[in-house]
Structure 1
Amino acid sequence: MSADSSSSCVCAVAPPSSEPRLPPVKLQAGTAEFRATARAMFVGGYCTFAMLYGAQPLMPMFAQDFALSPAASSGVVSLATGSLALSLIPAGLLADRLGRRPLMNAALALGALLMLLSALADSFQHLLWLRAAFGVALAGLPAVAMTYLSEEVDAKSLGHSMGLYIAGNALGGMSGRFIASLLADHLGWRWALLTLALLGVAGAWLFWRNLPPSRHFQPRRHDLGRMWREAKALFRDAGLPWLFVSAFLLSGCFVSLYNYLGFRLLAAPFNMSQSLLGLVFSLYIVGVWSSAWVGKLSDRLGRRNVLWLMVLAMLLGLALTLSDHIVALVAGIALFTFGFFAGHSVASSWVGLRARQGRALASAIYLSAYYLGSSLVGSLSGLMWGRGGWQGVAAVLAASLTAMLAISLGLRRLQPLPQA
């Protein structure tokens, strides 16, 4: 009897301790949970870029209304991306304690609120302060998105999911710019910003409804010693430091091109209207397709064999933008956009695969470099616009992309890590 009782006791106690809480298999393409995750991350990326870069085509209007130089008007983009860059690592550390999903939900909601306040700004200085605060608040989503996907999605499906997230970025950037251009031409820039804010509110609700809770997240205490060890390990990796530099150069070049494209197309010999300029920004749709397609292609062929080709496409596209013929110029913008979003998709998913430890920190460093490049190279290009017009901007971008091409060719020799 005692033996039977003991056995029965063991049976009664065993199930709670043996019941797994975290499924061992990560999300794979084709499953319902993968599709829900993809929807949420697509919406999150869409709203992030719509609100962040929707002010970009309005720069000529800010310059005119507030009597600013092109470089000064770029502050609506540079301050937002710069403050976002500086906030990504703190946001990543906070996500290690609070979880990925809660931080992303809060970031998108606060970003929409600050975007609403930006539409009511009574001066350009007030607008700049709100844009800086917007960057800090929004940082929680891009700081955690790649980490969430790397933790939750199977390695064979990671390129696909990362490509869809970045496709959302591309479509959001395109839609935000197009909507802002169209509304600003007829109703003014305040209505344009207000519409983007309302879009952010809707997106925050959809993101909250669709994103599944993390299944592979383990909360961690803040440990500066551990963080320092992780950072040293990341920078000792043969590829990660170069991928961080790649983020800086790719983003800096892309944002610079679109920052000053409006000034060129609104002036002679093109003399476009603000609405027509919005149609040119719709070339972002090329990035929606390229990021998803090339993401899957890199899963098959290898990231080292794809990245350098995308950089080469950007260089060829840049050369075409020097033409005064609108067809050649638009073709160049499309090729440049294709190469950027595809290259960013490849590089960002590569970071998630190589960072075996400190994955959240690796993603935060990558994105800090990404948005810092957007801010710093974007500002430098504005100064070159003042000195040499579009040719001055193109010279900065050509030098940056040449360095990026050398890096991507070097990364071709990088030995892959064994599968985890």
Structure 2
Amino acid sequence: MIEDKTRAWWRATMALCLGSFLVFINLYVPQPLLPELKAIYGVSTLGVSLLMSVATLSLALALLVFGPLSDAIGREGIMRITLLLAGGLSLALAFAPNFEGLLLLRLIQGFVLGGLPAVAIAWMGDAFEKPALLSAVGLYIGANSLGGISGRIVGGAAAEIGGPQAAFIAVGVMTLIGCALFWRLLPNSHTFMPKRFQLRRALTDLVGHLRTPVLLAAYCLGGINFLIFINQYSYITFRLAAAPYQLAATGLGLIFLTYLGGTFGSTVSGRLAQRFSPAMCMMAGVVILMVGTAVTLNDSLALIIVGLTINAFGFFLTHSLASSWVGRYAQGARGSASALYLVFYYVGASLGGFWLEPFWQGAGWSGITWGSWILLSITLMIALGMRRFERCDNAV
């Protein structure tokens, strides 16, 4: 087992962080382009948002395949091959003939992007000692946010120069270069014990996880929070592209620098959880997300940015701890347990537009805020229930 902060730990953690970074630059590159793509293809707000929704939905479905499959055949090969395919598909997106073709390629890309997230945390659970796992997960989630930031900034900047086509080409090239480095850095796990793949066993494992309340709570917490968080960013691009802000693609891309608040939140999550408790920190994260949403109601662009930064800190603090909560409490089949968390997570993201669109049409950004608070109140209650379980567990 790999010990915390050793040379082997740093090499493995760097590899997985790089892989996570590459996944998320590909997943989120279209987000700052949504207003421009809406105008180019003449589709509705909800229609162009499908470029994000179909990718996150197919990614979620892929997790159901790659998670159980990794328990049978190993995890390293899945991560390496799917990253390579993701880079190639980004290049293909640049040459999509129409909006329908763009949607189809995003659907396929979302599926292959699911390879690394489905198994990375399970790989850590196999290879790392428990203290090393908490530290590594925090950095890994931090790389998620850095990838999301970079995809949007690179996409926005490239689109300003050469349109959306240039954005997809830039990210595709970055991915292929990064993939070569990932292949070299990632070590093979020497503690992995393969299990022969059996469909019935895989389904039994998934059902078992869903019947475990302590895991189901984490699944719902992560999914609902992400439904709100990621779709707020989609709708804020429409708000800031319109008067009085009228930000272009580069400016919209820079808005996602607020994700740095999430990078900080995820990297300190392990230390905060050791001092206070994971469930208490998750409760605090939800409250912080609600407060940040309130700040975005202000018309000042500076305060909107502050509010989004607060949101990112609160969300990623909670997400990091919910992810590691699954690794801690899953009894066997860690690959499918971690994958199921991410299924809820990305299904939530894909459904967010359908939940928030009526609020947007009815009351603009204030409607988005109310729609957000309704669901965040539910996740706060879920985190409270997790805290009660934690107290009982510690008392045993």
Q: TM-score, normalised by structure 2?
A: 0.96
For 1:80, the equivalent position in structure 2 comes to: 55
**Alpha carbons 1:92, 1:360 under 8 Å: kept:** yes
Do structure 1's residue 43 and structure 2's residue 12 form an aligned pair? Answer: no
**Alpha carbons 1:71, 1:383 under 8 Å: kept:** no
Give the whole-Å Cα distance in 2 for the aligned partners of 1:379 and 1:44.
30
For 1:334, the equivalent position in structure 2 comes to: 309
State which of 194, 219, 227 in structure 2 corresponds to 1:244: 219
For 2:181, the equivalent position in structure 1 comes to: 206
For 2:145, the equivalent position in structure 1 comes to: 170
Residue type of the alignment partner of 1:152: A
Give the whole-Å Cα distance in 2 for the aligned partners of 1:201 and 1:214.
24
SS in 2 for 1:239: helix
Deviation at residue 218 of structure 1 after TM alignment: 1.2
**Alpha carbons 2:127, 2:189 under 8 Å: kept:** yes
Which has the higher mean CA deviation after the structures are superposed, 297-306 or 213-222? Answer: 297-306
Equivalent runs, 1:303-322 vs 2, <5 Å: 303-322=278-297
CA RMSD in angstroms, aligned pairs only: 1.5
Deviation at residue 230 of structure 1 after TM alignment: 2.6
Give the whole-Å Cα distance in 1 for the aligned partners of 2:273 and 2:25.
26
Which has the higher mean CA deviation after the structures are superposed, 297-306 or 222-231? Answer: 222-231
Residue type of the alignment partner of 2:281: V
Deviation at residue 97 of structure 1 after TM alignment: 2.4
For 2:206, the equivalent position in structure 1 comes to: 231
SS in 2 for 1:213: coil
Give the whole-Å Cα distance in 2 for the aligned partners of 1:199 and 1:209.
16
Give the whole-Å Cα distance in 2 for the aligned partners of 1:204 and 1:382.
36
Do structure 1's residue 98 and structure 2's residue 70 form an aligned pair? Answer: no
Deviation at residue 205 of structure 1 after TM alignment: 1.1
For 1:20, the equivalent position in structure 2 comes to: none
For 2:300, the equivalent position in structure 1 comes to: 325
Which has the higher mean CA deviation after the structures are superposed, 268-277 or 302-311? Answer: 268-277
Residue type of the alignment partner of 2:36: M
Give the whole-Å Cα distance in 2 for the aligned partners of 1:352 and 1:245.
15
For 1:356, the equivalent position in structure 2 comes to: 331
For 1:23, the equivalent position in structure 2 comes to: none
Residue type of the alignment partner of 1:167: G
Deviation at residue 215 of structure 1 after TM alignment: 1.7
Equivalent runs, 1:9-408 vs 2, <5 Å: 26-408=1-383
- Compare CA radii of gyration and give the structure with the larger one: 1
Deviation at residue 122 of structure 1 after TM alignment: 1.2
**Stretches of structure 2 lacking an aligned partner (at least 5 in a row):** none
Give the whole-Å Cα distance in 2 for the aligned partners of 1:355 and 1:417.
14
Which has the higher mean CA deviation after the structures are superposed, 215-224 or 126-135? Answer: 215-224
Which has the higher mean CA deviation after the structures are superposed, 116-125 or 288-297? Answer: 288-297
SS in 1 for 2:42: coil
Which has the higher mean CA deviation after the structures are superposed, 285-294 or 305-314? Answer: 285-294
Give the whole-Å Cα distance in 2 for the aligned partners of 1:78 and 1:196.
19
**Alpha carbons 1:159, 1:298 under 8 Å: kept:** no
Give the whole-Å Cα distance in 2 for the aligned partners of 1:87 and 1:232.
17
SS in 2 for 1:120: coil
Cα 1:278–1:321 shift into 2, 3 Å: same
For 1:4, the equivalent position in structure 2 comes to: none
Deviation at residue 290 of structure 1 after TM alignment: 1.4
Deviation at residue 146 of structure 1 after TM alignment: 1.2
For 1:6, the equivalent position in structure 2 comes to: none
**Alpha carbons 2:126, 2:192 under 8 Å: kept:** yes
**Alpha carbons 2:11, 2:186 under 8 Å: kept:** yes
Residue type of the alignment partner of 1:325: S
Cα offsets for 1:238-271 (capped at 9, x unmatched): 3101101012112111111111111101112222
Which has the higher mean CA deviation after the structures are superposed, 266-275 or 189-198? Answer: 266-275
Give the whole-Å Cα distance in 2 for the aligned partners of 1:261 and 1:199.
27
**Alpha carbons 2:57, 2:346 under 8 Å: kept:** yes
Deviation at residue 96 of structure 1 after TM alignment: 2.0
For 1:18, the equivalent position in structure 2 comes to: none
Cα offsets for 1:109-160 (capped at 9, x unmatched): 1111111101111111100000000011121111101111111111112221
Give the whole-Å Cα distance in 2 for the aligned partners of 1:176 and 1:32.
29
Q: TM-score, normalised by structure 1?
A: 0.90
Deviation at residue 403 of structure 1 after TM alignment: 0.6
Residue type of the alignment partner of 2:189: S
Cα offsets for 1:317-372 (capped at 9, x unmatched): 00111111122211110000111111110100110010021211111110000010
**Alpha carbons 2:206, 2:340 under 8 Å: kept:** no
Residue type of the alignment partner of 1:287: G
Deviation at residue 98 of structure 1 after TM alignment: 2.1
